[in-house]
Amino acid sequence: MRNFYGVTLDTPLMLGTAQYPSPAVLEAAFRGSNASVATVSLRREGGQGQAFWDIIRGFGVHILPNTAGCYSAREAITTAQMAREVFETNWIKLEVIGHSDTLQPDPFGLLEATKTLAADGFEVFPYTTEDQVLAARLLDAGARVLMPWGAPIGSGLGLNNRYGLKTLRAAFPDVAMVIDAGLGLPSHAADAMEMGFDAVLLNTAVAQAGDPAAMARAFGMAAQAGALAHAADPMGPRDMAAPSTPVLGKAWL
């Protein structure tokens, strides 16, 4: 059974905590989704940090701090160190961004930061692409979990490169992988889980929905349905029709 640095999650949904219309809606989304992980960040203290900390602790889920907005390994490493102290966890969703339009990872900075942080006892969840060579390097550097993107952060496009993701999944059968970013609909989450990924992480698709709590619930159900379907060993597709009702015994009319 693949796990996340020794932790087996109750449900395969990781949910972001940003962009909700209010703390009450955030809470409703979490309750409805059955998410088992909440992603959080660190920002300059402006007076709301302490109240937010109390809210997320009340969810009773695993906390996964991120290094969102970091454009260099150095910045991401310092942010990770600060996050470890504040959130009291070795988990870090490592983002080293390479381009502001696509928010795609900078593979070189990501690898450098993964190396440093893993050596320093962090349990790194690198936000990466579907690139198989980069994945191998990240694993060599000490990552035990990978978080390949579905599509650019906030785009809602779903799984942009199913072939690449499928190949990545098959290449590292023992590595826990989370599809992180770009999901827009619950069907995207089910698709990812049916492909054998271990969890999905999303934020915007829920927070920006007209009814975030209902959408959170839909994503939670879809992720669990996809996981169940994958475990149930789906049939393969075929080009020709095949009757499901027995031909034998049909009347001669």
Residues that bind another protein (CB under 8 A): 16-20, 26, 39-46, 48-50, 52-53, 56, 65-66, 68, 74, 78, 81-83, 85-87, 153, 203-204
Nearest approach in angstroms of CB 111 to another protein is 21
Angle made by CA atoms 177, 183, 188, in degrees to the nearest 5 = 80
Give the residue with the Cβ less far from another protein, 104 or 132: 104
- Residue 147 burial (CB < 10 Å; 0-12/13-18/19+)? buried
Give the residue with the Cβ less far from another protein, 16 or 150: 16
Q: Give the pair of three-digit tokens for residue 240.
A: 């020709």
Nearest approach in angstroms of CB 101 to another protein is 17
Distance between CA atoms of residues 167 and 171, nearest Å = 6
Task: Say if CB 215 and CB 161 are below 8 A apart.
Answer: no
Under DSSP, is residue 126 helix (H, G, I), strand (E, B) or coil?
A: strand
Nearest approach in angstroms of CB 3 to another protein is 23
Strand 123-128 and strand 91-94: the pairing is: parallel
Strand boundaries in 176-248, DSSP class E: 176-180, 199-202
- Whether 93 is a known active-site residue: answer yes
Q: How far apart are the first and last CA of the chain?
A: 54
Nearest approach in angstroms of CB 52 to another protein is 5
Give the residue with the Cβ less far from another protein, 5 or 53: 53
Nearest approach in angstroms of CB 137 to another protein is 25
Give the residue with the Cβ less far from another protein, 110 or 137: 110
Under DSSP, is residue 164 helix (H, G, I), strand (E, B) or coil?
A: helix
Residues, the chain, total? 253
Distance between CA atoms of residues 39 and 156, nearest Å = 18
Point out the residues that are catalytic.
93
